[in-house]
Structure 1
Amino acid sequence: MENSKNLHDIAQSAYEASQIARQTLIQKENFKKFSSFLERLSFSLKESSKFDAVRDSETLNRAIENLKAEIETAKQLGTECAEGNRIYLLLNCKKIAGELDKTSKNISQALIPFTSGSFELESNNILANLCKNMSDTQYQVSAIEQEILQKIETGIEDRRIDRSYASNLLVHIAESLGISCESSELKMEFERFKKEIENIESSTEALRMEQIIRLLSNADMVTTPKEKEIKYLTKRISLGRHLLEPLPSFYCPIKLDIMEDPVETPAGHTFERAAIEKWLMSAEGNSLCPMTKMPLSRSSLRPNRVLRQSIEEWRNRNIMISIASMKPEIQSNDELEVLRCLNKLRDLCETSQMHREWIVMEDYIPIVAGLLSAKTSEFRVRSLAVLYYLAKDSDDNKERIVKENDSIVYIVRSLARKVEESLSALQLLLELSRITHIKTLIGGTQGCILLLVTLANSDDPQASKYAQEVLKNLAFVDTNIIQMARAKFFKPLLHRLCEGPVSIQITMADTLAEVELTDHNKLCLFRDGALHPLLQMLRNSDIDVKAAAVKALQNLSGVAQNGLRLIKEGAKESLFELLFCHSLSSSSSKLREQVARTVMHLAMSTTSSEASEEQISLVETEEDIFKLFSLISYSGPDMQETLLLTFLALCKSPTGSQIRNDLRQISAVKVLVQLCELDDLSVRAAAVKLLYRLTQDGDHTTFLDHVNKKCTENIVKIIETSKNEEEAAAAMGVISHLPRNLQISEHLLDSGGLEVIFDCLNYKNTHTPHVKELVENAAEALSRFTVSTNPMWQKRVAEAGMIPVLVKLLSTGPPLAKSHAAVSLKQFSESSGSLSSPVKMGGVLGCCFGSPPANVCQIHGGVCSTESSFCLLEAGAVGPLVAVLGESDDLRVCEASLDAILTLIDGVQLQSGCKVLDEGGALVQMIKILNCSCTNELQEKMLGALQRIFRLVEYKTKYGKSAQMSLVDITQRGSSGAKSLAAKILVQLNVLNEQSTFF
């Protein structure tokens, strides 16, 4: 029973040891294996202790005591490795691995008595296997631990005192142990390590640890700048002020120069390694020592570390003295001396980190930083280089540089100078920008980010690379990202917009809303990823997030391609939801206006050719149109203008015809007429333009209920007073398209509409688009008052001197104005025959034998004038009409001109009219037109005229042959009506007989 209890206690102790082993700070893999063995041992012993028949013998009792002692040893080893200083434990990793191996084998040995039949067969077998496993297992240090130990030995052996080696080594140690590389934590752990080794009893181990401490103490993380400075100044002061001459032993007998890597021969002579190896290689098999002339091989050369260390100490001593002695010289007024010192400092900085540290401790940073403002370019370039090397070494140096002499400002100024200086400034900024608060200082310096963006986009690959890296560093500060966006560098902003938290997304979206963007910028932003995060924000439930997205989209949607992408991505649903949302508070009216402007941009995008090709539309139902238009009546002026411009764009879209029809159906005309009476000029202008669009097609009877005398007076007043040429043109367009009934025409006359039309037709400059449209609409509007059914209106127009103006328009006006002018002249001409004054013949026989007066009209046979009979011949209109007939590419103009010309051969005027047309060249032009592509209506009208003209033999003979080929072609390719007319003319010309199949 006693042995069973002892076995149970040992099992519990083994389990505790296994748990301690799992908590060790180093050798984790080794201790994991060891812990596993102990757990298996604990389990086996615990199971065996349950049997009462455990033999009680002296051998077994001794074995129990031995095993108990070994388990306690394992516990102690685990405890030491779990609680000891991690650096010290790492340095003793080989020893710990040996202890583990020894303990494992001792436990295995102590288990042997338990495997010889003390327990049941099954327990015996388990313990036997465990015993063998523990005996066979080997514990080794890891590759990383081995590498660290090797670097430590190399550093001690080579007497490495430079900070970079020690710093890198200490960082390597910290990373392998899971210690933070923050200076404060690493220094604390290092101090614990130094304290732990104070109690080491072994003098050999104490000496080794002292060497390791001396090596690692050079690391930046464990020594404060102040400690370094005190140590440096103490040493430098002890050296004196004079340089030491090199000892003769420092010189290589071959090169006769001070050695860098001395090696020693078996005979005790020392040479520079490169020199003696070159000597031996050139000996061509006769490898003799240059001093003793005895055979010498390269393999027999050994490094002379003591001499090398002495040379380094001598060189460093002199460098330390020379650095201190240069301070008065670099601050002198001698430019050559200053430049020499800067070059020397730069060379020293390039050579060694230790030299850079000495330069800092001699307080050169304020001096060199002060030279950044020098007028001499070479001073600035060398100063930037020196500061760059110093900044690379430590964050403390970076901090000291930015505090001196507005250094950031002067570094930034250097960015804009010559290539060499600009590159040097970039390199320095790249180092400085690694510190968080300095990022803010750099970004806040006037012009800095703009210059960096310019350099990032430059053709110089090196400058571009450095500038982009600096911008990348600065992009960790959100205010800098905003500055970059204003400089048109959007990559960091897009990154934050896509991946930042909601608050940052709002900030970035606000920036996109505020930045002035070109169309190219807007396209690039959508292409590079701005669209989807903004759409996600737009669909967010938080109104502030939605508002930020709307503002950004308003700015970005101003280019057609972006607007169409938004429609295709379903943005309109979210925008309309906000626009029609009744729960928005009055304080959200600004948001509603921004949504409306965004929708307006989407509407404008639907007028592009791409929208037409892809059949993209913004509103698809009459209900949507009604809801959107109804907002106009309940909105303020800004919103009203935006919504009106939205509908103006929609009316120009591929579905514009349907939208215009829907607007007329929902009585939009009534609302627009009311808006045209407002004092707000912007809203009025938009309303007039939309009203103009609605009058361009459709059933104009829908206007009759709303266009009263007040409305016409207002529209006329707009044309008279508006300084907006586009608005005036649109208002004139409304007049030109209004239903041509007597009541509306009378309203226009009473409102002074005719006088306004006269004024617009007399515009001198018709080259600007809106003035051109104004004149075209005025010419069309005038045609309502030149109809032959109302001679009084015609007379009023003629007496106002408008017929010469119309004739002039045929020569100088835009195409549509020419067409409308021809229409008016045609209408005037239709009245000329009845208005021409009969000729009074003198005497009884005058009627038979007298000659007609000289002023008798050739066409109308009476006395004509422009103002009384509106005669085209008297007005000089025949030539311009013929010119328009022959020159115009617009068939509408051509047809209007032909209609006016053909009034001269109506009725009994055929003979005289044809003579006038022939003299004016009209017949030649008419035949030419037959050869051109024209509408069936125009062609048939032309053929009908020629049929009448060719009744006269004179003109049939003169022009029949030239018309013949065209007529034959028409009989083959023309419309049925044109074929018949052409065939009849060919009969007149005796080309076909009357029984032809064309009839």
Structure 2
Amino acid sequence: MIAIVEEFFFHFILLSALQEMMANPEALSSIVKSLARDVDESREAVALLLHLADLVKVRQRIGRVQGCIMMLVTLLNGCDSSASYDAGKLLAALSSNTQNVLLMAEAGFFVPLVQYLKEGSDMNKILMATAISRMELTDQMKATLGEEGSIEALVKMFNSGKMEAKLSALNAIRNLSCLKENNDRLINSGVVSNLLQVLFSVTSVLMTLREPASAILASLAKSEIILHKKDAAQQMLSLLNLSSPDIQLHLLQALNSMAGHSGAKRIRAKMKENGALQLLMPFLSSCNDEIRIAALNLLFNLSTYFAEELSGQLGETYLILMVEIISKATSEMEKAPAVGIISNIPVSDKKATQLLMNANLLPLLITLTGTIITAPSNPTRKWLLDGIAAVMIRFTVPSDKKLQKISASHGIIPCLVKLLSANSIVASSRAATSLAQLSQNTLSLSKAKSSRWFCVPPSTEKLCGVHNGLCLVKSTFCLVKSGALSALVQILEGKEREADEAVLSALSTLLQDAIFESGSDAIEQASGVQAIIRILEVGCLKAQEKAIWMLERIFRLGAHRSKYGEAAQHLLIDLAQKGDPILKPMIAKILAHLQLLEMQSSFF
């Protein structure tokens, strides 16, 4: 019996000595290196480390070995179930050391960190929250932290903790609030009202919380769920003039996000009732570029829905200020909303049109278009071109020939032709609308000029085969002489459909009663007939209706019936069978031209 005890004691001493030997830093470093080798070796290495971790001093040393925790996290997430299990147990053992927990978090393993946030001491909670606020987190890491319960723990810290805890919690929330899923969790946690309470506070001790609180609100406002907080927008509006510039910027950004949500109709109406348009005007002349741009963005957003009210609020002073911004601003991010706001002023507001014309807005926009249309496209430039094209519609209204002539003298028509080929279907559509408005008056202007010819005949290049008169781009706005036909047809041939109606409206001005024969020929020469036939298949109802009206006139001519009738008839018959009933009467006229009406009479 004594011999057995002695042998057991000998093995115990030997094992203890072996553990001591393997627990020294050099040995541990060698074992850790094995974690990154093949599957079998890494499995044995993590099992050995787990066994050695029974010793306190080993646990203290393992976390200090460079790369150890990173490799353990890799094994935890790996395919080897045995190594993953042992790595998880070892990480749990190492998590008693807060430094190890921070290293785990940097490696993307957040379970221990969140556990400290929920159940740790006040100091450890602050340590973990501070770590989150300083980490460069990927979206995946932010999502993981949210899923594991960090949001709720941080909100609890902010609501009930002392000043240092509140500040560290807010900064951590700020870093996590860039992700939509986390924003939804934050809003559902009820944090919005507490953030607003901080902003309304005049207690000096809470002043340091105001900037991060406003920044978080700016992030939360990107989620449509915030609209459920009924008074949030009104409270933010009331805070605008009571806040420092950095907080004003965040509040403007938050209000802009809220006003932009599709379900924000009631919120926008409330903002208007509470004087948002008037409240924003002074910010347009702010010397702080970021605040000025944020105010412009919000005003543009609201003006999209409250155009009539905008005219009354802007007045001459702010209209001229908008033109100055477009003229002098160095940033396209500032020019774009300014142009957009002007584009939202109703075209019927003739006083605004005259003020803008007197301020030389049109030549300014034409020059600006030439500068940016050839530059690489980006969302801001696209927005800017869309706005420019919209503003040009007000300078080409067909009821004001004098205004059209002034606009043409500034070079608006070549600019509109360029916009047809812009990398924005919205700008192209609006440019086509302006060209259509101009072209509506070409026939009468061309005849007026022709009647003034005397003994000297005009040059051939000035004679227009479509309008049978003297056509010049600047004086009669001729669609053919402007070179716009090929660009218009290319839009119909393209994949995007938003501009079809505007393009067809422009082309249809060549099919007026007095000129439809020569106009049909001009459209055919530009390969437009086939493009119009294609709209029967790919266009929306309104575009189809306009295309059918045009084809009825084009197919009055035998040459075009012969060339394109067969291609059109199948689509026309299909539309008669399956299309909207409103199209049938006009389709019947075309089929009559094609001598197919009797064969298809059952559909009419």
TM-score by length of 2: 0.85
Q: Distance in 2 between matches of 1:666 and 1:625?
A: 10
The AA in structure 1 aligned to 2:6 is I
Q: Distance in 1 between matches of 2:344 and 2:454?
A: 51
Q: Is the 8 A contact 1:783 1:824 kept in 2?
A: yes
Deviations 1:885-917 (A, max 9, x none): 233531x31111111111112242223222222
Q: Is the 8 A contact 1:794 1:828 kept in 2?
A: yes
The CA deviation at 1:523 is 1.6
The CA deviation at 1:751 is 3.7
Q: What corresponds to 1:215 in structure 2?
A: none
The AA in structure 2 aligned to 1:627 is Q
Of the candidates 788, 791, 816, which is equivalent to residue 398 of structure 2?
A: 788
The AA in structure 2 aligned to 1:805 is C
- State yes or no: 1:563 paired with 2:175: no
Q: Is the 8 A contact 1:715 1:731 kept in 2?
A: yes
Q: Is the 8 A contact 2:195 2:214 kept in 1?
A: no
Change (3 A) 1:898 1:159: closer
Q: Which runs of structure 2 are paired with 1:409-428 in the superposition (5 Å)?
A: none
Using CA pairs below 8 Å that are at least 6 residues apart, which structure has the higher relative contact order?
Answer: 2
Secondary structure of 2:219's aligned partner: helix
- State yes or no: 1:978 paired with 2:588: no
Of the candidates 494, 511, 535, which is equivalent to residue 929 of structure 1?
A: 535
Deviations 1:57-79 (A, max 9, x none): xxxxxxxxxxxxxxxxxxxxxxx
Deviations 1:271-299 (A, max 9, x none): xxxxxxxxxxxxxxxxxxxxxxxxxxxxx
Q: What corresponds to 2:520 in structure 1?
A: 914
Deviations 1:497-552 (A, max 9, x none): 23324443333233222222111112222223334433443443755544444333
Q: What corresponds to 1:885 in structure 2?
A: 492
Gaps of 5+ in 1: 1-153, 166-350, 361-387, 393-397, 607-616
- State yes or no: 1:827 paired with 2:437: yes
Of the candidates 99, 111, 131, which is equivalent to residue 491 of structure 1?
A: 111
Q: Distance in 2 between matches of 1:931 and 1:450?
A: 59
Q: What corresponds to 1:776 in structure 2?
A: 386
Of the candidates 213, 216, 219, which is equivalent to residue 598 of structure 1?
A: 216
- State yes or no: 1:732 paired with 2:339: yes
Q: Which runs of structure 2 are paired with 1:797-812 in the superposition (5 Å)?
A: 797-812=407-422
Q: Distance in 1 between matches of 2:562 and 2:239?
A: 70
Deviations 1:9-56 (A, max 9, x none): xxxxxxxxxxxxxxxxxxxxxxxxxxxxxxxxxxxxxxxxxxxxxxxx
Q: Distance in 2 between matches of 1:579 and 1:557?
A: 16
Q: Is the 8 A contact 1:604 1:649 kept in 2?
A: yes
Q: Is the 8 A contact 1:761 1:775 kept in 2?
A: yes
- State yes or no: 1:708 paired with 2:315: yes
Deviations 1:190-228 (A, max 9, x none): xxxxxxxxxxxxxxxxxxxxxxxxxxxxxxxxxxxxxxx
Q: What corresponds to 1:554 in structure 2?
A: 174
Pick which of 544-553 and 813-822 moved more.
Answer: 544-553
Secondary structure of 1:676's aligned partner: helix
Of the candidates 541, 547, 569, which is equivalent to residue 942 of structure 1?
A: 547
Could you say what the CA RMSD is over the residues aligned between the two structures, in angstroms? 3.8
Gaps of 5+ in 2: none
The AA in structure 2 aligned to 1:758 is I
Deviations 1:590-643 (A, max 9, x none): 32332333333332233xxxxxxxxxx312376432123222222222222222
Secondary structure of 1:881's aligned partner: helix
Secondary structure of 2:450's aligned partner: coil
Larger Rg: 1
The AA in structure 2 aligned to 1:942 is A
The AA in structure 2 aligned to 1:668 is A
Change (3 A) 1:957 1:851: farther
TM-score by length of 1: 0.54
Change (3 A) 1:423 1:780: same
Q: Distance in 1 between matches of 2:144 and 2:407?
A: 57
Of the candidates 243, 248, 257, which is equivalent to residue 640 of structure 1?
A: 248
Q: Distance in 1 between matches of 2:572 and 2:385?
A: 38
Q: Is the 8 A contact 2:489 2:528 kept in 1?
A: yes
Change (3 A) 1:625 1:356: closer
Q: Distance in 2 between matches of 1:485 and 1:541?
A: 23
Of the candidates 496, 503, 521, which is equivalent to residue 897 of structure 1?
A: 503
Secondary structure of 2:227's aligned partner: coil
Q: Is the 8 A contact 1:760 1:774 kept in 2?
A: no
Change (3 A) 1:548 1:907: same
The AA in structure 2 aligned to 1:515 is M
Q: Is the 8 A contact 2:510 2:519 kept in 1?
A: yes
Of the candidates 188, 207, 211, which is equivalent to residue 589 of structure 1?
A: 207
Q: Is the 8 A contact 1:949 1:955 kept in 2?
A: yes
Q: Distance in 1 between matches of 2:29 and 2:360?
A: 71
The CA deviation at 1:700 is 1.0
Of the candidates 14, 17, 20, which is equivalent to residue 390 of structure 1?
A: 20
Q: Is the 8 A contact 2:500 2:539 kept in 1?
A: no
Change (3 A) 1:722 1:451: farther
**Identical residues among aligned pairs (%):** 31
Deviations 1:307-364 (A, max 9, x none): xxxxxxxxxxxxxxxxxxxxxxxxxxxxxxxxxxxxxxxxxxxx9454578xx7xxxx
Q: Which runs of structure 2 are paired with 1:496-895 in the superposition (5 Å)?
A: 496-540=116-160, 544-567=164-187, 570-571=188-189, 573-581=190-198, 582-583=200-201, 585-606=203-224, 617-620=225-228, 623-696=231-304, 698-740=305-347, 741-762=349-370, 763=372, 764-836=374-446, 837-838=449-450, 853=460, 855-890=462-497, 892-895=498-501
Change (3 A) 1:954 1:447: closer
Q: Distance in 1 between matches of 2:165 and 2:33?
A: 41
Q: Is the 8 A contact 1:885 1:894 kept in 2?
A: yes
Q: Is the 8 A contact 2:227 2:264 kept in 1?
A: no
Deviations 1:650-691 (A, max 9, x none): 233341344333333322122223222212122222222222
Q: Distance in 2 between matches of 1:482 and 1:587?
A: 29
Secondary structure of 2:317's aligned partner: helix
Change (3 A) 1:438 1:706: farther
Change (3 A) 1:723 1:466: farther
- Tell me the matched-pair count: 595
Change (3 A) 1:470 1:731: same
The CA deviation at 1:841 is 6.5
Q: What corresponds to 2:3 in structure 1?
A: 158
Q: Distance in 2 between matches of 1:794 and 1:729?
A: 24
The AA in structure 2 aligned to 1:556 is L
The AA in structure 2 aligned to 1:818 is S
Q: Distance in 2 between matches of 1:620 and 1:439?
A: 49
